[in-house]
Structure 1
Amino acid sequence: MLKRVLACAALAGGLAAAVPAEATVVAQISLSQQRMDVVVNGARAYSWPVSTARRGYVTPTGSYRPTRTARMWYSRKYDMSPMPYSVFFRGGYAIHGTTYVRSLGRPASHGCVRLHTANAAILYNLVQKKGFGAARVVIRP
């Protein structure tokens, strides 16, 4: 029976070839470079300066799936600071927009990954469109 299924798949050109690969969005963040590259469907689509944790705080490294999103969130921990276009990836840690654009490109946050609000909106919309299962946040030292 298995031989017949494999033969049918081979005759049809292979089942895998007929099904398109799942679309993905990966936010790759470099703490040392204070930069985020966004890879969409395997190709780098965007590259933006970011701000991650300043001295005394930590931005966690590792690979994460988004856990939730919020078009506008207010930090309960840090004086109700606005966090537009938030993509949460580990507990209270998120990638989000900021008005402190002069700080982009150097460590300045309490641990979140900050970027220009227009760029945060692009990433937020990509994650919304592709879904959490097809999105990944990768943070490297």
Structure 2
Amino acid sequence: MFPAVVEAGQLFAKVDVSEQTMRVYRDGTQIHTWQVSTARKGKITPRGVLHAKWLSKEHKSGFYNNALMPFAIFCSGNFAIHCTNQISRLGHPASSGCIRLHPDKAAKLFAMTPQVGCAI
């Protein structure tokens, strides 16, 4: 299984779906390793190189009954990296396709994104 990769300039995040981890690199040096939740059975997390299209700090899903998606970094279509309140599910597939992060980690990644031109 190929990992999903998100990149921008000197910052990129490599998501390993089989390990349910995200490794964040700046200037080629790994600076963080975080647990994530990607798509649960029957859903798909996109693979390949993805570029951020836009950010939404206090996003609410238009597809899932206004579900909160704080610190959302949208990469393509309706796919995003965002905060989750289901912290106990991190490290296990649980999403509808997005990459979910711990609230503190999502806020940190969100804050780093504009520093490299609003793309990761």
TM-score (norm 1): 0.77
**Percent same amino acid among aligned pairs?**
37
The answer to whether structure 1 residue 82 and structure 2 residue 99 are counterparts is: no
What's 2:31 paired with?
45
Structure 1 segments (4+ residues) deviating >6 Å: none
Cα RMSD for the two superposed structures: 1.3
Code of the residue aligned with 1:33 in structure 2: it is: E
| Alignment match, 2:5 | none
Structure whose CA Rg is larger: 1
1:35 aligns with 2:21: yes
Q: How many residues align?
A: 113
Q: Deviations over 1:90-130 (max 9, x none)?
A: 11100000100000000000000001011001111111111
Task: Specify which structure has the higher proportion of helix.
Answer: 1
Gaps of 5+ in 2: 1-7
Measured in 2, the distance between the counterparts of 1:70 and 1:78 equals 16
Kindly provide the amino acid, as one letter, of the partner of residue 14 in structure 2: Q
Of 119, 131, 135, 2:117 maps to: 131
- Tell me the TM-score normalized by structure 2: 0.90
